[in-house]
Structure formats: structure tokens, C-alpha cells
Amino acid sequence: MEEQIKKVLLENSQELFGEQIEEKLIQFQQTRREFEGDVTLVTFPFSKILKSKPEEVAGKIGAFLKERMASVKSYNVIQGFLNIVIEDDFWINQLNGIAKESQFGYSEPNSKSLKMVEYSSPNTNKPLHLGHLRNIFLGYSVSEILKANGHKVIKTQIINDRGIHICKSMLAWERFSPVNQKGERETPQNTGIKGDKLVGKYYVEFDIHFNNEAKEIIAQWEAGRFDGFPKEVTAEYQKLEKAKAEKSDDEKAVKEINAKIKDLAKNQTTILRDAKEMLVKWEARDPQVYLLWTTMNGWVYDGFEATYQTMEVDFDKLYYESDTFILGRDVVLEGLEKGVFYRKEDGSVWIDLTADGMDEKLLLRSDGTSVYMTQDIGTAIERFRDYPDLDGIIYTVANEQDYHFKVLFLILDKLGYDWAKKCYHLSYGMVDLPTGRMKSREGTVVDADDLMAEMIGEADKMTAERGHLEGLTKEQIAELNHTIGIGGLKYYLLKIDPKKRMMFNPLESVELNGHTAPFVQYGYARIQSLLRKAKSENIALTAVTKLETEDINLIKSLSRFRNVIDEAANSYSPSLVVNYCFELTKEFNSYYQSINILKEENEALRASRLILCENIGKVIRLGMQLLGIKVPERM
């Protein structure tokens, strides 16, 4: 209806307003519940054109629409807002139209530009955790929403398979992995440990030894032993100790100084030095280091794939930092020759962004090795080379990296890439636990596999307690519990606006009542049960011919689905779809409790209501599908 009203206003602009208006002036909003109306037109933008008060403008437009559009039944004006009431026949026709579209709300596939969505993008030194789950579910859902909106979409990730963090796990495994009776170090094959978890174990192991060595160094310094340390390091430590003594009454200042001393000591550890040397060897393609890297990364990839299968997410194209950093390094060296970047005395390469309100940014270390920014430059360039018609990349990355992406897009722009302006950082808030923040190095993360298993287990308890599983095989029950558990997890992590930080409570996600996936899934299952019963009673579902006010209110909610997809696609916000599915289900439940459906004596009304229920179920299924969530036929 909004599109029809917009068309009438644009085609009759000269008659109504005395000039051709711009489409962007025509703004609609949902009619507030306390007012009569199905569509609300905001008339303030037209006041200046007509040199009249908003109320007068609204009255003029309302009268014009009622005269020219047969579907407009009446209108009312509330403080410059034009509330338009639509004839019942329009809504009956709407439902018949919705019933004919198997993919109602979705746009024509591939009718819009090509978008690339990056998500997951893990490091190969640890398993996926709760923080990754919000990232992955958000990126996957945004991809599906963009596709439903008509865009061609490439789902991708950059696998961070190189760098100092990877070398830390490799070095720790080499040094600290126990040897079995066959002379073998720990592997996924001889331990049964999932590959990504085994590698993550040694990342934590490195940090334990790293911190212990740093503590020993600080103890040496405190005892006045500085043999073997560079003079500048000794001088810096003594300077910090003096500052700490001067600020001994300032607890916060002392804490900050102690952190600087710890960092100073960490940089003097032999274990960190050895990890850095391993990185240099890796970039030089040292055969032994490269073989170890290939082997351990292979373990991790197998582990990741198993986790993605449980999540029910996928990717169209994978990029690897070990490939793209080379292109990034070459581009940086070219930029150095052109004067975009500069080299410091120690040989490191930087860019000065102070004139742009930022700071200086490192691009190549003094030993020639690359940093994250280097590979991100290479990856972006390679992606636009791979897909010349690409209309933008959406990077799904936590808001801790806001500054990183501002710098990345600015550097790409300074290098002369026009498409840099089409890159977008989908910044989302971190996930907190009741116990505080997660820390990978300290092994305090919530493992993704463990969490998903827990959610499926909780779903198992819920379905067992409720019963209603008669006739289902063990395999079907297991599938149902997976659908409820993983669906609950996805829904919980997607229902909050991406920009907001969130607290995660796992048990809430699988509750049957409340703003949860099981609530929506149960609503869908209830509709399917209703339709099965109607089929068993041989009730024919032909066309919608008769409806009452309660039915029409639900059709109005159904018809909003297309607009919800548009808005979610434009704002990259799956939470809009989550909330729509929840409100639609809640509205259906109230309707189901108060309205006769199967017991309705009027056959035409009964058939029309069943068609309405069938399409509510269809839209719930299509909406949840955009979130990567399945809905069960029985529950």
C-alpha cells in the first residue's frame, strides 16, 4: 500500500503541491496502536512547499487520496501525521497475493549489486569461542538478508593463519608437547583431541611460560641483577621504578607503571625472541618451520569445519593471510616509493595520518615482517580483483577494531582505490559473561563446541519434560533438539542490536516462553499441527473470500515483512527480523487463543482463516531462515 500511495503522490505532484517533489520527501511510519489507521504518512516535509501548517497539509493530502484511491476507506489527522485507513477488500487481496508467493517478502534473486560479507575470520591458534559465535551468526544472517533483498552475495572469511600468535602455538607444541611410548608428540590422531583445541592448548601453554619467564626477569631486576640486558632496557626499568616510588600513594598510577614494567620484561624473554625468530624463518619459507605450520594449521582447519557444520553456516570463498600478506607487502613497498608511506631509521615502514586526525601506523616491522594492516590491504585489493563488479565489502568485526578499519579504509583511499569508499565495517558489541570478559591467552573463553553441546543438551531436557515426542525416532528427536538448541543460541545472539554490547545467559536462550527461538519455533509447530488437522478433516483451502477485523489485523502484520527485510538489509541489522518474527508469533498466539478456526461454522471464513494461518507459518519460516534458524514441524 505504501508503494501505491507513493506512486499516486509522485504522479500527481504538480496538482497537489504545485511542483514535482522528490521521492525522499515521502516518509511512512507504522500507525501507533492508539490511533485508527493502517498506514501513517509524515506530512511535515510538505509544509514548507505548501506554506501551510502540517495539519492542513495532512487534511489536503488525505482528501486527495480518498478521492483518487478506491482502497482508501478513510483518514484522520493527528498533529501533522496522516493516518490512512484501508478498505477490507484490499487486505483480502493482499492475503491472496501473499499466498501465491512461495518466497513472499523476498526480492528477485540477483536483481541487485554484488556484495561481499566477511565473517568468522579466525586465528589458527585457538578454537572458536562465544565471541566468534556472535560474529559468525551476525555475518551469516546479514548475508542471507542481503540475498533476500535481491543482492548477489559472496560469503567469505580471511583465515589468519600466519603471524607471531601462530608461531607461539607452534613453538610451545615443539617445546612442551609430551612424547608418548612411540616417540610421538601429541596430535589429534593419537590423543583424540579436536585439532583446533589441541593447538589452542599450546597457545595457552606458551602464555604460561611467557608470563613465568617475565616474572623471573622482573625478580632479577628487583634484586639489582641486570647482566645480559641492553643498557637502554636497564635504564628504562630504573626510570619506571623511580616513577613508581614518586607516585607510591597513587594506586592507579602504580598499577599502570607495573604493567609497563611487565611489558618491558616480556619483550626481553627468550621465548618471545624465539617465536619472533620462527616468524622470520616462516616468511623465508624455512622447510622445517613451514612443514610444522602446514601440519598444525591442517589440524585446526579440520576442527573448524566440524564446528561450522554444527553451526549450519557456510562460506563461498576463503582467503588466507599467508597468501594475501605478500600482495599487501608489495603494495606497501610501492606506496613507499610513491611517498604514501615512509621508512624509519630502524627500517620499519609507516604512514603518517596525523593530518587526518589519527596517528602514525606501522605497516612493516624493522625485520621486514608484516602486520595485520598489511595483510588487510592485500586482502581487500585481491577481493576486488577477483570480483570486478563488487559493490562493497561488509567486514563483520567487533567494535574493538573500529579504529583499525578507519585506518584501513583511509590507507586504501590514499593508495588511489576508489572502491575504498564502498567498504563498510559492521561493528558489533562484545559478548560478556556474568563472570566478566573472556581471555583466550588465559584459557577463560567459552568454547563454541562446548556451548553448542550444552544448548542442545538443554533442549533435550526441555523436550523430554514436555513430552509430545510420540511417534518420533531417536534420530528425529536428536534433530529436533539440535534445531531448538542451535536455534535458541543464534536467536539470543542476534536479537540485540549489533552495535550494543550484550550479556550472554545460555539458559535463557532455550526457554519456551519469552523472546526466544523456542517460543517462535513452537508457534510455527502449532500452525503446522493445525494445518495437519484441517487436512485430516478434508477442509479445502481455496481462496480467501471472507475475513473479519481480527483476521485483517494479522494480514497487516504479514504485509510488513517485505519492508522489514528492506530495512534490515539497509541497516545490516538481523535484530529487526528477530523482533518481527517474535511479534508476529505473539500476535498469532493471541489470535489462536481467542478466535474460532477449525470450529468456525462459516465454511468460507474457516477456509480463509486457515489460509491466513498457513501464510503466517510461511512468513515465520522465511524470517527465521534469514537468521539461519530452522523451524520444526512438530515440537
Write out the DSSP string of 10-24: HHTHHHHHSSPPPGG
State residue 444's pLDDT score: 54
**Distance (Å, rounded) from C-alpha 37 to C-alpha 232?**
76
Q: Residue 442 has what pLDDT?
A: 47
Cα 625 to the center of its chain, rounded Å: 15
Q: What is the pTM of this model?
A: 0.88
Write the DSSP assignment of 458-470 as a string of letters.
HHHHHHHHH---T
Report the distance separating Cα 185 and Cα 173, nearest Å: 8
Closest CA to 498 of 577, 603, 595, 391: 577
Residue 264 · residue 209 · CB < 8 Å: no
Task: List b or e across 146-175, with b for residues whose CB sees 16 or more CB atoms inside 10 angstroms.
Answer: bbbbbbbbbbbbbbbbbbbbbbbbbbbbbe
pLDDT of residue 79: 87
In the numeric block, which cell numbers belong to residue 487? 536455534
* Short-list 431, 426, 429, CA closest to 573: 426
Q: Which segments of 12-71 does DSSP mark as H helices, in order? A: 13-17, 44-50, 54-68
- Domain 2-86: top CATH class: alpha beta
- The tens digit of pLDDT for each residue in 315-345 reads 999 999 999 989 999 999 999 999 999 999 9
Give how far Cα 285 sits from Cα of 151, 299, 397, Å.
Answer: 41, 20, 30
Domain ranges of the chain: 2-86, 159-229+268-432, 448-626
Find cell 625468530 and name the residue: 277
Please say whether the structural domain 448-626 has been given the CATH code 1.10.730.10: yes
The 3-class secondary structure across 101-116, one letter per residue, is CCCCCCCCCCCEEEEE
pLDDT digits (tens, 9 = 90+) for 478-512: 999 999 999 999 999 999 999 899 888 777 888 88
The per-residue pLDDT for 443 is 47
Please compute, for residue 115, the number of CA atoms within 13 A of its CA located in the half-sphere on the CB side. Answer: 26
Q: How many CB atoms lie within 10 A of CB 370?
A: 24
Q: What is the rounded distance in angstroms from the CA atom of residue 134 to the CA atom of residue 430?
A: 8
The CATH number that domain 159-229+268-432 falls under is 3.40.50.620
Same fold? 2-86, 448-626: no
Q: Which residue ranges of the chain lie beneath pLDDT 70?
A: 434-444
